[in-house]
Structure 1
Amino acid sequence: MNLNDRQRKVLFAGLVVALALVGVYLTVASPGDEQDDPSDRPSAAVSATAGPTGPASPPAGIHSAVNPGDFDVYRLLPFSRQEFATAADLAQRFVAAYGTYRFDENPQAYIGRLSGLVTDELRGELARGAAAPGILDERRQQQVVAVGSSTLDRVRDIEDNSIIFLVTGKQQITRAGKDGADSKQYAVTVARDGGSLKVYSFQPAEAGQAGDTGDRG
Protein backbone atom coordinates (compact mmCIF):
# COMPACT_ATOMS: atom_id res chain seq x y z
CA MET A 1 0.00 0.00 0.00
CA ASN A 2 1.43 3.33 -1.12
CA LEU A 3 0.89 6.15 1.39
CA ASN A 4 1.72 9.78 0.93
CA ASP A 5 3.56 11.72 3.60
CA ARG A 6 0.41 13.00 5.30
CA GLN A 7 -1.11 9.50 5.54
CA ARG A 8 2.10 8.03 6.97
CA LYS A 9 2.19 10.70 9.69
CA VAL A 10 -1.40 10.02 10.69
CA LEU A 11 -0.79 6.25 10.81
CA PHE A 12 2.35 6.69 12.93
CA ALA A 13 0.51 8.92 15.43
CA GLY A 14 -2.27 6.34 15.71
CA LEU A 15 0.21 3.55 16.46
CA VAL A 16 1.89 5.64 19.19
CA VAL A 17 -1.45 6.27 20.93
CA ALA A 18 -2.41 2.56 20.69
CA LEU A 19 0.89 1.42 22.17
CA ALA A 20 0.57 3.93 25.00
CA LEU A 21 -2.91 2.60 25.86
CA VAL A 22 -1.64 -0.99 25.86
CA GLY A 23 1.20 -0.01 28.21
CA VAL A 24 -1.21 1.63 30.65
CA TYR A 25 -3.46 -1.44 30.64
CA LEU A 26 -0.55 -3.82 31.31
CA THR A 27 0.68 -1.62 34.16
CA VAL A 28 -2.70 -1.57 35.90
CA ALA A 29 -3.72 -5.19 35.33
CA SER A 30 -0.32 -6.88 35.60
CA PRO A 31 -0.48 -10.17 37.61
CA GLY A 32 2.78 -9.24 39.32
CA ASP A 33 1.23 -6.19 40.99
CA GLU A 34 -1.54 -7.63 43.17
CA GLN A 35 -3.98 -5.38 44.95
CA ASP A 36 -2.85 -4.38 48.45
CA ASP A 37 -4.31 -6.70 51.10
CA PRO A 38 -4.86 -4.97 54.50
CA SER A 39 -4.09 -8.25 56.25
CA ASP A 40 -0.51 -8.11 54.93
CA ARG A 41 0.21 -4.73 56.50
CA PRO A 42 2.06 -4.60 59.81
CA SER A 43 -0.40 -3.88 62.60
CA ALA A 44 0.11 -0.82 64.78
CA ALA A 45 1.01 -1.47 68.42
CA VAL A 46 -1.72 -0.38 70.84
CA SER A 47 -0.59 0.86 74.24
CA ALA A 48 -3.13 1.01 77.05
CA THR A 49 -1.90 3.74 79.39
CA ALA A 50 -5.08 4.64 81.22
CA GLY A 51 -5.46 3.42 84.78
CA PRO A 52 -8.43 1.44 86.03
CA THR A 53 -11.68 3.38 85.95
CA GLY A 54 -13.69 0.87 87.92
CA PRO A 55 -13.32 -2.08 90.24
CA ALA A 56 -11.01 -4.81 89.00
CA SER A 57 -13.40 -7.36 90.49
CA PRO A 58 -16.95 -6.16 89.78
CA PRO A 59 -19.48 -7.40 92.34
CA ALA A 60 -21.19 -10.56 91.18
CA GLY A 61 -24.46 -9.54 92.80
CA ILE A 62 -27.07 -11.79 94.40
CA HIS A 63 -30.09 -12.63 92.27
CA SER A 64 -31.70 -15.28 94.41
CA ALA A 65 -33.30 -14.97 97.83
CA VAL A 66 -30.76 -14.22 100.56
CA ASN A 67 -29.96 -17.19 102.76
CA PRO A 68 -28.60 -15.99 106.15
CA GLY A 69 -26.84 -19.31 106.65
CA ASP A 70 -24.95 -19.07 103.35
CA PHE A 71 -24.50 -15.34 102.70
CA ASP A 72 -21.39 -14.31 100.75
CA VAL A 73 -20.88 -10.58 101.35
CA TYR A 74 -18.02 -10.49 98.80
CA ARG A 75 -20.59 -10.88 96.03
CA LEU A 76 -21.67 -7.33 96.88
CA LEU A 77 -18.20 -5.79 97.24
CA PRO A 78 -15.82 -4.40 94.58
CA PHE A 79 -12.97 -6.51 96.06
CA SER A 80 -12.68 -10.28 96.06
CA ARG A 81 -11.95 -12.20 99.24
CA GLN A 82 -8.30 -12.56 98.17
CA GLU A 83 -7.94 -8.86 97.38
CA PHE A 84 -9.54 -7.91 100.67
CA ALA A 85 -7.15 -10.14 102.60
CA THR A 86 -4.16 -8.78 100.68
CA ALA A 87 -5.19 -5.19 101.39
CA ALA A 88 -5.72 -5.91 105.10
CA ASP A 89 -2.33 -7.60 105.40
CA LEU A 90 -0.69 -4.70 103.57
CA ALA A 91 -2.21 -2.10 105.92
CA GLN A 92 -1.16 -4.06 109.00
CA ARG A 93 2.40 -4.66 107.82
CA PHE A 94 2.81 -1.03 106.78
CA VAL A 95 1.90 0.36 110.22
CA ALA A 96 4.28 -2.09 111.93
CA ALA A 97 7.13 -1.16 109.57
CA TYR A 98 6.37 2.56 109.89
CA GLY A 99 6.84 2.32 113.66
CA THR A 100 10.16 0.43 113.52
CA TYR A 101 13.39 2.45 113.38
CA ARG A 102 16.76 3.04 115.07
CA PHE A 103 18.82 6.13 115.82
CA ASP A 104 21.90 4.63 114.08
CA GLU A 105 20.05 3.49 110.97
CA ASN A 106 20.40 5.20 107.62
CA PRO A 107 17.05 6.77 106.60
CA GLN A 108 17.37 5.05 103.22
CA ALA A 109 17.33 1.65 104.91
CA TYR A 110 14.17 2.62 106.78
CA ILE A 111 12.45 3.77 103.58
CA GLY A 112 13.64 0.63 101.82
CA ARG A 113 11.50 -1.50 104.15
CA LEU A 114 8.45 0.56 103.22
CA SER A 115 9.07 0.82 99.47
CA GLY A 116 7.23 -2.33 98.42
CA LEU A 117 4.20 -1.44 100.53
CA VAL A 118 3.43 2.11 99.39
CA THR A 119 2.84 4.10 96.22
CA ASP A 120 5.74 6.06 94.74
CA GLU A 121 4.18 9.35 95.82
CA LEU A 122 3.76 8.27 99.44
CA ARG A 123 7.27 6.85 99.44
CA GLY A 124 8.61 10.27 98.51
CA GLU A 125 6.71 11.93 101.34
CA LEU A 126 7.94 9.37 103.87
CA ALA A 127 11.52 9.74 102.65
CA ARG A 128 11.45 13.50 103.15
CA GLY A 129 10.05 13.08 106.65
CA ALA A 130 12.56 10.41 107.66
CA ALA A 131 15.50 12.54 106.51
CA ALA A 132 14.37 15.71 108.33
CA PRO A 133 17.40 16.96 110.34
CA GLY A 134 15.36 17.69 113.48
CA ILE A 135 14.03 14.14 113.72
CA LEU A 136 17.41 12.55 113.04
CA ASP A 137 19.21 14.74 115.60
CA GLU A 138 16.65 13.99 118.33
CA ARG A 139 16.79 10.24 117.77
CA ARG A 140 20.59 10.23 117.78
CA GLN A 141 20.88 12.34 120.91
CA GLN A 142 18.46 10.10 122.83
CA GLN A 143 19.57 6.91 121.07
CA VAL A 144 15.99 6.01 120.23
CA VAL A 145 15.18 2.43 119.24
CA ALA A 146 11.57 1.62 118.34
CA VAL A 147 10.07 -1.75 117.46
CA GLY A 148 6.63 -1.54 115.90
CA SER A 149 3.72 -3.94 115.74
CA SER A 150 0.10 -3.45 114.76
CA THR A 151 -3.44 -4.70 115.13
CA LEU A 152 -6.06 -4.56 112.42
CA ASP A 153 -9.13 -3.00 114.04
CA ARG A 154 -11.88 -2.62 111.46
CA VAL A 155 -12.88 -1.31 108.04
CA ARG A 156 -13.79 2.36 107.92
CA ASP A 157 -14.83 2.71 104.28
CA ILE A 158 -14.89 0.87 100.94
CA GLU A 159 -14.80 2.53 97.52
CA ASP A 160 -14.56 1.04 94.04
CA ASN A 161 -10.76 1.03 94.09
CA SER A 162 -9.77 1.58 97.71
CA ILE A 163 -10.37 0.37 101.25
CA ILE A 164 -9.72 2.37 104.42
CA PHE A 165 -8.67 0.31 107.44
CA LEU A 166 -8.33 1.42 111.03
CA VAL A 167 -5.04 0.02 112.31
CA THR A 168 -3.53 0.52 115.75
CA GLY A 169 0.23 0.86 115.74
CA LYS A 170 2.09 -0.16 118.89
CA GLN A 171 5.71 0.60 119.74
CA GLN A 172 8.20 -0.66 122.27
CA ILE A 173 10.57 2.27 122.61
CA THR A 174 13.94 2.72 124.26
CA ARG A 175 14.78 6.40 124.68
CA ALA A 176 17.79 7.70 126.60
CA GLY A 177 18.21 4.29 128.20
CA LYS A 178 14.60 4.07 129.39
CA ASP A 179 12.03 1.62 128.07
CA GLY A 180 8.51 2.69 127.23
CA ALA A 181 5.53 2.00 125.02
CA ASP A 182 3.33 4.01 122.71
CA SER A 183 0.12 3.35 120.81
CA LYS A 184 -1.68 5.24 118.04
CA GLN A 185 -4.55 4.39 115.69
CA TYR A 186 -4.26 5.23 111.99
CA ALA A 187 -6.65 5.35 109.07
CA VAL A 188 -4.78 3.55 106.29
CA THR A 189 -6.00 3.77 102.70
CA VAL A 190 -5.05 0.84 100.47
CA ALA A 191 -5.76 1.43 96.79
CA ARG A 192 -5.27 -0.27 93.45
CA ASP A 193 -2.03 0.95 91.89
CA GLY A 194 -1.70 -0.46 88.39
CA GLY A 195 -1.92 -4.22 88.78
CA SER A 196 -1.29 -4.33 92.52
CA LEU A 197 -2.47 -2.96 95.84
CA LYS A 198 -0.44 -0.31 97.69
CA VAL A 199 -0.85 1.93 100.71
CA TYR A 200 -1.97 5.21 99.17
CA SER A 201 -2.19 7.38 102.29
CA PHE A 202 -2.54 7.28 106.06
CA GLN A 203 -3.30 9.68 108.88
CA PRO A 204 -4.24 9.61 112.56
CA ALA A 205 -7.67 8.00 112.82
CA GLU A 206 -9.16 10.96 114.70
CA ALA A 207 -8.29 13.29 111.81
CA GLY A 208 -10.84 11.67 109.48
CA GLN A 209 -14.43 10.66 109.40
CA ALA A 210 -14.99 7.92 111.97
CA GLY A 211 -17.67 6.21 109.90
CA ASP A 212 -21.03 5.55 111.54
CA THR A 213 -21.74 8.50 113.85
CA GLY A 214 -25.41 7.78 114.46
CA ASP A 215 -26.85 6.90 117.85
CA ARG A 216 -26.52 3.26 118.78
CA GLY A 217 -28.96 3.63 121.69
Structure 2
Amino acid sequence: MNLDDRQRKIVFAGLVAALAAVGVYLTVAAPERATGGPDDAPTAAATAPAGPASPPPGIRTAVNPEDFDVYRLLPFSRAEFATAAEVAQRFVAAYATYRYDEEPRKYDERLAPLTTEQLRGELARAHASAGLVAKRRADRTVATGTASLDRVRDIGDNSIIFLVTGTQAVTAGGKETSENKQWAVTVVRDGGSLRVYAFEPADAGQAGDTG
Protein backbone atom coordinates (compact mmCIF):
# COMPACT_ATOMS: atom_id res chain seq x y z
CA MET A 1 0.00 0.00 0.00
CA ASN A 2 1.41 3.38 -1.10
CA LEU A 3 1.00 6.24 1.40
CA ASP A 4 1.55 9.90 0.75
CA ASP A 5 3.51 12.08 3.20
CA ARG A 6 0.43 13.14 5.14
CA GLN A 7 -0.77 9.57 5.62
CA ARG A 8 2.70 8.37 6.68
CA LYS A 9 2.85 11.12 9.35
CA ILE A 10 -0.55 10.06 10.74
CA VAL A 11 0.48 6.37 10.93
CA PHE A 12 3.81 7.27 12.59
CA ALA A 13 2.07 9.41 15.18
CA GLY A 14 -0.34 6.57 15.94
CA LEU A 15 2.54 4.12 16.49
CA VAL A 16 4.30 6.53 18.84
CA ALA A 17 1.11 6.97 20.89
CA ALA A 18 0.58 3.22 21.11
CA LEU A 19 4.14 2.57 22.27
CA ALA A 20 3.85 5.33 24.86
CA ALA A 21 0.65 3.79 26.20
CA VAL A 22 2.32 0.39 26.50
CA GLY A 23 5.24 1.95 28.36
CA VAL A 24 2.94 3.68 30.84
CA TYR A 25 1.04 0.43 31.47
CA LEU A 26 4.22 -1.53 32.12
CA THR A 27 5.54 1.15 34.47
CA VAL A 28 2.35 1.23 36.53
CA ALA A 29 1.53 -2.51 36.52
CA ALA A 30 5.00 -3.86 37.34
CA PRO A 31 5.11 -2.70 41.01
CA GLU A 32 1.64 -4.13 41.60
CA ARG A 33 2.79 -7.56 40.52
CA ALA A 34 6.01 -7.30 42.49
CA THR A 35 4.13 -6.77 45.73
CA GLY A 36 0.78 -8.46 45.36
CA GLY A 37 0.90 -11.10 42.65
CA PRO A 38 -0.10 -14.71 43.45
CA ASP A 39 3.16 -16.10 42.07
CA ASP A 40 5.37 -14.15 44.47
CA ALA A 41 7.72 -16.22 46.69
CA PRO A 42 6.65 -16.02 50.36
CA THR A 43 8.83 -14.01 52.71
CA ALA A 44 11.04 -15.66 55.34
CA ALA A 45 8.79 -14.36 58.10
CA ALA A 46 5.74 -15.99 56.54
CA THR A 47 7.36 -19.40 56.16
CA ALA A 48 9.35 -19.55 59.40
CA PRO A 49 8.21 -22.55 61.48
CA ALA A 50 6.48 -21.77 64.75
CA GLY A 51 8.37 -24.49 66.65
CA PRO A 52 10.27 -27.78 66.34
CA ALA A 53 9.25 -29.85 63.32
CA SER A 54 6.85 -32.68 64.16
CA PRO A 55 7.29 -35.33 62.96
CA PRO A 56 11.09 -34.91 62.81
CA PRO A 57 12.47 -33.85 59.42
CA GLY A 58 14.40 -37.04 58.79
CA ILE A 59 17.66 -37.40 56.87
CA ARG A 60 17.60 -37.74 53.06
CA THR A 61 21.32 -37.51 52.41
CA ALA A 62 23.91 -40.20 53.13
CA VAL A 63 24.65 -40.46 56.84
CA ASN A 64 28.02 -39.06 57.88
CA PRO A 65 29.18 -40.70 61.15
CA GLU A 66 31.38 -37.66 61.83
CA ASP A 67 28.45 -35.24 61.66
CA PHE A 68 25.30 -37.12 62.65
CA ASP A 69 22.41 -35.21 64.23
CA VAL A 70 20.33 -37.87 66.00
CA TYR A 71 17.75 -35.27 67.06
CA ARG A 72 16.53 -35.10 63.45
CA LEU A 73 15.18 -38.61 64.00
CA LEU A 74 13.61 -38.00 67.41
CA PRO A 75 10.26 -36.41 68.36
CA PHE A 76 12.07 -34.10 70.83
CA SER A 77 14.53 -31.34 69.97
CA ARG A 78 17.90 -31.06 71.68
CA ALA A 79 16.58 -28.27 73.92
CA GLU A 80 13.47 -30.27 74.87
CA PHE A 81 15.58 -33.33 75.65
CA ALA A 82 17.87 -31.33 77.91
CA THR A 83 14.93 -29.70 79.67
CA ALA A 84 13.22 -33.06 80.21
CA ALA A 85 16.41 -34.50 81.69
CA GLU A 86 16.76 -31.54 84.04
CA VAL A 87 13.12 -31.87 85.14
CA ALA A 88 13.53 -35.60 85.88
CA GLN A 89 16.69 -35.00 87.92
CA ARG A 90 15.26 -32.07 89.87
CA PHE A 91 12.07 -33.97 90.58
CA VAL A 92 13.80 -36.96 92.16
CA ALA A 93 15.86 -34.65 94.38
CA ALA A 94 12.82 -32.58 95.39
CA TYR A 95 10.69 -35.66 96.02
CA ALA A 96 13.18 -36.86 98.65
CA THR A 97 13.66 -33.48 100.34
CA TYR A 98 11.53 -32.36 103.28
CA ARG A 99 11.78 -31.47 106.97
CA TYR A 100 9.62 -31.76 110.05
CA ASP A 101 9.37 -28.04 110.79
CA GLU A 102 7.98 -26.84 107.46
CA GLU A 103 4.36 -26.79 106.39
CA PRO A 104 3.34 -29.52 103.89
CA ARG A 105 2.40 -26.82 101.38
CA LYS A 106 6.10 -25.93 101.02
CA TYR A 107 6.76 -29.44 99.74
CA ASP A 108 3.88 -29.06 97.30
CA GLU A 109 5.23 -25.72 96.08
CA ARG A 110 8.63 -27.25 95.31
CA LEU A 111 7.07 -29.99 93.20
CA ALA A 112 4.51 -27.76 91.46
CA PRO A 113 6.70 -26.58 88.53
CA LEU A 114 8.06 -30.09 87.95
CA THR A 115 4.93 -32.28 87.86
CA THR A 116 1.60 -32.55 86.09
CA GLU A 117 -1.40 -31.36 88.05
CA GLN A 118 -2.61 -34.89 88.67
CA LEU A 119 0.70 -36.21 90.00
CA ARG A 120 1.22 -33.09 92.08
CA GLY A 121 -2.13 -33.64 93.79
CA GLU A 122 -1.36 -37.27 94.59
CA LEU A 123 2.04 -36.44 96.09
CA ALA A 124 0.72 -33.49 98.08
CA ARG A 125 -2.03 -35.60 99.66
CA ALA A 126 0.40 -38.36 100.58
CA HIS A 127 2.95 -35.95 102.06
CA ALA A 128 0.30 -34.16 104.12
CA SER A 129 -1.05 -37.37 105.67
CA ALA A 130 -1.72 -36.66 109.35
CA GLY A 131 0.10 -39.79 110.50
CA LEU A 132 3.25 -39.03 108.50
CA VAL A 133 3.29 -35.39 109.58
CA ALA A 134 3.01 -36.41 113.24
CA LYS A 135 5.78 -38.99 112.95
CA ARG A 136 8.17 -36.60 111.17
CA ARG A 137 7.60 -34.00 113.88
CA ALA A 138 8.06 -36.51 116.67
CA ASP A 139 11.33 -37.78 115.15
CA ARG A 140 12.43 -34.31 114.04
CA THR A 141 13.01 -35.75 110.59
CA VAL A 142 15.14 -33.87 108.08
CA ALA A 143 15.57 -35.47 104.64
CA THR A 144 17.76 -34.19 101.83
CA GLY A 145 17.64 -35.65 98.34
CA THR A 146 20.08 -35.55 95.45
CA ALA A 147 19.78 -37.24 92.07
CA SER A 148 21.94 -38.68 89.32
CA LEU A 149 20.76 -39.19 85.73
CA ASP A 150 21.65 -42.72 84.64
CA ARG A 151 20.28 -43.29 81.16
CA VAL A 152 17.24 -43.07 78.88
CA ARG A 153 14.97 -46.09 79.06
CA ASP A 154 12.44 -45.22 76.37
CA ILE A 155 11.31 -42.45 74.02
CA GLY A 156 7.74 -42.03 72.77
CA ASP A 157 6.03 -39.44 70.62
CA ASN A 158 5.12 -37.45 73.72
CA SER A 159 7.26 -38.86 76.52
CA ILE A 160 10.77 -39.74 77.64
CA ILE A 161 11.51 -42.19 80.44
CA PHE A 162 14.72 -41.53 82.33
CA LEU A 163 16.38 -43.81 84.86
CA VAL A 164 17.42 -41.62 87.76
CA THR A 165 19.18 -42.71 90.95
CA GLY A 166 18.08 -40.73 93.98
CA THR A 167 20.10 -40.53 97.19
CA GLN A 168 18.26 -39.55 100.35
CA ALA A 169 20.13 -38.60 103.51
CA VAL A 170 17.83 -38.69 106.55
CA THR A 171 18.27 -37.52 110.11
CA ALA A 172 15.47 -38.83 112.36
CA GLY A 173 15.28 -39.70 116.04
CA GLY A 174 18.90 -38.75 116.48
CA LYS A 175 20.11 -41.19 113.81
CA GLU A 176 21.49 -40.59 110.33
CA THR A 177 20.83 -42.92 107.43
CA SER A 178 21.32 -42.80 103.68
CA GLU A 179 19.57 -44.74 100.92
CA ASN A 180 20.02 -44.99 97.16
CA LYS A 181 17.10 -45.90 94.91
CA GLN A 182 16.74 -45.91 91.14
CA TRP A 183 13.53 -44.55 89.65
CA ALA A 184 11.94 -44.70 86.21
CA VAL A 185 10.69 -41.15 85.65
CA THR A 186 8.33 -40.36 82.78
CA VAL A 187 8.48 -36.77 81.52
CA VAL A 188 5.79 -35.60 79.09
CA ARG A 189 4.76 -32.48 77.22
CA ASP A 190 2.15 -30.78 79.36
CA GLY A 191 0.77 -27.70 77.65
CA GLY A 192 3.80 -25.57 76.92
CA SER A 193 6.02 -27.27 79.50
CA LEU A 194 7.77 -30.57 80.18
CA ARG A 195 6.69 -32.17 83.45
CA VAL A 196 6.89 -35.46 85.32
CA TYR A 197 3.79 -37.51 84.58
CA ALA A 198 4.62 -40.66 86.57
CA PHE A 199 7.47 -42.43 88.37
CA GLU A 200 8.08 -45.75 90.06
CA PRO A 201 10.99 -47.98 91.10
CA ALA A 202 13.08 -48.74 88.04
CA ASP A 203 12.88 -52.50 88.52
CA ALA A 204 9.06 -52.38 88.32
CA GLY A 205 9.05 -51.30 84.66
CA GLN A 206 6.86 -48.56 83.29
CA ALA A 207 4.70 -47.88 80.24
CA GLY A 208 6.10 -44.93 78.36
CA ASP A 209 4.06 -42.98 75.83
CA THR A 210 0.93 -41.19 76.98
CA GLY A 211 -0.12 -40.10 73.50
After TM superposition, the score normalised by the length of structure 1 is 0.69
- Structure 1, unaligned runs of 5 or more: 1-54, 212-217
Identity %, equivalent residues: 67
Match 2:160 to one of 152, 159, 163: 163
Q: CA deviation at 1:93?
A: 0.4
Matches within 5 A, 1:72-83: 72-83=69-80
2:59 equivalent to 1:59: no
- 1:130 aligned partner: 127
Q: CA deviation at 1:188?
A: 0.5
Q: CA deviation at 1:58?
A: 2.4
In 2: Cα distance, 1:79 partner to 1:57 partner: 9
Match 1:152 to one of 149, 154, 159: 149
User: CA 1:181–1:203 in 2, change beyond 3 Å: closer, same or farther?
Assistant: same
**By percentage of residues, which structure has more helix?**
2
User: CA 1:151–1:109 in 2, change beyond 3 Å: closer, same or farther?
Assistant: same
Deviations 1:173-213 (A, max 9, x none): 111111221111111110001111111111111111599xx
2:189 equivalent to 1:192: yes
Matches within 5 A, 1:6-155: 57-155=54-152
In 2: Cα distance, 1:92 partner to 1:60 partner: 29
- 2:41 aligned partner: none
In 2: Cα distance, 1:170 partner to 1:113 partner: 18
The amino acid that maps onto 2:131 is G
User: CA 1:209–1:115 in 2, change beyond 3 Å: closer, same or farther?
Assistant: closer
Deviations 1:23-81 (A, max 9, x none): xxxxxxxxxxxxxxxxxxxxxxxxxxxxxxxx964211111111111111111000000
In 2: Cα distance, 1:188 partner to 1:206 partner: 12
Aligned residues: 157
User: CA 1:209–1:200 in 2, change beyond 3 Å: closer, same or farther?
Assistant: closer
Contact 1:156–1:210 (CA under 8 A) maintained in structure 2 = no
Q: CA deviation at 1:134?
A: 2.1
Contact 1:57–1:80 (CA under 8 A) maintained in structure 2 = no
Q: Report the structure number with the largest CA radius of gyration.
A: 1
- 1:5 aligned partner: none
SS in 2 for 1:115: helix
After TM superposition, the score normalised by the length of structure 2 is 0.71
- Runs (4 or more) in structure 1 with deviation over 4 Å come to none
SS in 2 for 1:181: strand
In 2: Cα distance, 1:143 partner to 1:101 partner: 11
In 1: Cα distance, 2:145 partner to 2:133 partner: 18
